[in-house]
Amino acid sequence: MREAPHLTFDLDAPGVSRGHLLVPGGADRGELSLPVFSLNKGEGPRLLVTGGNHGNELEGPLVARRLIEWLPEEQTCGRIIVVPVLNPLAVEAWSRNTPLDGLNLNRVFPGRADGSVTERIADAVSRVLLPTADTVFDLHSFGPTWHFPPAATTHPIADPDLMARTVRMAEAFNLPLTLVWEYNDTAGMFDILAQNQGKVFVCTEFGGGTVGADNLAIYEAGVRNALIALGLVEGKADYPTFRQQKSGQTLETHPCDDLRSPARGIFEPRCSVLDEVKQGDLIGILHPMDSISTESMDIRAPGTSFVLAIRSGVHVEINEGVALVAGPLKI
């Protein structure tokens, strides 16, 4: 008989517990043990915090590790479960997807007990961890070749009450950006599974590119703000400073807000995230590199908007995404 995924400790024990979520082995590899921290202070919100869903977004695991250090001093009620790394195989490879089966963990939820390793991780998380929580923070970032501001995000949700509660929760991070992201490729996302079960799920996007000390402090402050808003921790929320600004805004973006490359070549960013642009402002330049005689091409803002994300200087193919713009939330 196949072993079922399970925790190595009792979540209902009071106080701090440390152990593992056991993901059973399968045809492709043996059992995986994901380290899990839990702090049970009785009545109150039940929160699950996860990091390392994608293996090249390491801000989440680092903020989760910091959380584990100060929660025992600061958590006053409720239960918080922290899993710093959901996909250790991807994290060790600095790869978005799991190298072993090529799958994106955040597209295979709820997973399969008899699937490949990525599907088995999703299955274990869906069956063992998700039922323990009424609120989930999944700590992502935008990946290595993008600039992205520190943000708390959600996708649009059909249930207006859950949508309103989710946006309020996202705004409580007090990050420079709260984002409602209409996105077509959502099948199999952890978000969708949790929201379909009526849970408040906030996906943070803690920047892109290099993970530095300055930005980690912003991300940690954002999570602390959210814990204060949930009543799990006492203290005063604050807006962390980003690009000399100490305030946040709530925006929405849609599939039509993707700016794509007009040709293959090297993309040169010419603006910064959260810059406000008008129609025709220069966003970036595409330099065809096969010939220096071919003119470089300007990529310009389609209308008044904020630059939400911009690609790093990197070689892109024709029609590959190079920037995302956004407008004020109207949903």
Residues lying near a second copy in the complex (CB under 8 A) are found at 18, 20, 33, 35-37, 55, 58-59, 61-62, 65, 68-69, 84-85, 88, 91-92, 94, 144-147, 208-214, 216, 266, 268-272, 287, 289-293, 296, 310, 312-315
CB of 201 to a second copy, least distance (A): 23
CB of 145 to a second copy, least distance (A): 7
Q: What is the largest CA-CA distance in the chain?
A: 70
CB of 259 to a second copy, least distance (A): 15
Q: Which residue number, 97 or 166, has a Cβ lying nearer to a second copy?
A: 97
| 146 close to 312: Cβ distance less than 8 angstroms | yes
Q: Which residue number, 92 or 114, has a Cβ lying nearer to a second copy?
A: 92
- What are the φ and ψ backbone dihedral angles of 193, each rounded to 5 degrees? -60, -45
Q: Which residue number, 192 or 285, has a Cβ lying nearer to a second copy?
A: 285
Strand 78-83 to 46-51 pairing: parallel
Q: Which residue number, 55 or 248, has a Cβ lying nearer to a second copy?
A: 55
CB of 157 to a second copy, least distance (A): 31
Q: Which two tokens stand for residue 248?
A: 């946040």
Residue 292's Cβ-count burial label (10 Å; 0-12, 13-18, 19+) is exposed
Q: Which residue number, 19 or 110, has a Cβ lying nearer to a second copy?
A: 19
CB of 284 to a second copy, least distance (A): 8
CB of 85 to a second copy, least distance (A): 5
Q: Which residue number, 203 or 310, has a Cβ lying nearer to a second copy?
A: 310
CB of 294 to a second copy, least distance (A): 9
Q: Which residue number, 279 or 296, has a Cβ lying nearer to a second copy?
A: 296
